[in-house]
Amino acid sequence: MNPQAGYSPEVMDHFYHPRNVGAMPEADGVGKVGNPVCGDVMQLMIKVNDDVIEDAKFQTFGCGAAIATSSMITELVKGKTIDEAVKISNRQVVDALKGLPPAKVHCSVLAEDALRSAINDYLQRAGRPPIEKPPREKKE
Ligand code: FES
């Protein structure tokens, strides 16, 4: 069996060479989410200056797609304002990775949720209200 079956070269690249992996002790916002069905856990950290996300890192204990989507979302979010970043959807992450097998789309949802959780942690630390989650578009 080909272990890469169904995965794009972009997914394999971000799985084998994840960007922005590691701890961020001085993070301004931390989001930690898990999927109770598969048991994967994702932690995403952001460094923010004047509402612009200057850096993002992740630590993911999960499947290859969870690692690839974590890696991609940290790349997508860098340089974005908080208002822009909160609009990043799991679909954008999937598109940037040139697709995911249907059974792995939930891994990208975990990445979106981790980012939103980190943003809301940042807002909460600043005494600002959290951003409500927009209704999720259909995934498949
Ligand atoms: S299998 Fe659950 S996050 Fe990938």
Pocket test for ligand 1, best of 107, 108, 112 (most atoms within 8 A of CB): 107
* Catalytic residue numbers, as ranges: 38, 107
Report the distance separating Cα 58 and Cα 131, nearest Å.
21
The pLDDT of residue 6: 85
- Mean per-residue pLDDT, 9-14: 97
Identify whether the C-beta of residue 60 lies closer than 8 Å to the C-beta of residue 40: yes
**So where are the chain's domains?**
9-124
Q: Is the pTM of this model over 0.85?
A: yes
Q: Does 126 have pLDDT greater than 70?
A: yes
Q: Which stretches within 9-89 are classed as H helix?
A: 9-16, 64-77, 82-85
CB 105 within 8 A of CB 93: no
Instruction: State mean pLDDT over 11-17.
Output: 97
- Cα 49 to ligand 1 centroid, rounded to whole Å: 31
C-alpha distance from residue 22 to each of 25, 55, 60, 62, 81 (Å): 10, 12, 9, 14, 22
Query: For ligand 1, atom 3, which residue shows the shortest CA distance?
Result: 107
Q: How far apart are the C-alpha atoms of 50 and 71, rounded to whole Å?
A: 24
Which atom of ligand 1 is least distant from the CA of 65?
Answer: 4
Residue 110 beta carbon below 6 angstroms from any ligand 1 atom: yes
Q: What is the pLDDT of residue 74?
A: 98
pLDDT of residue 5: 72
Distance 66 CA to ligand 1 centre (A): 6
The mean per-residue pLDDT over the stretch 110-121 comes to 98
For the stretch 19-32, pLDDT in tens is 999 999 999 999 99
Q: For the structural domain made of 9-124, what CATH number should be given?
A: 3.90.1010.10
Q: Tell me the per-residue pLDDT of 45-104, one tens digit each, with 9 for 90 and over.
A: 999 999 999 999 999 999 999 999 999 999 999 999 999 999 999 999 999 999 999 999
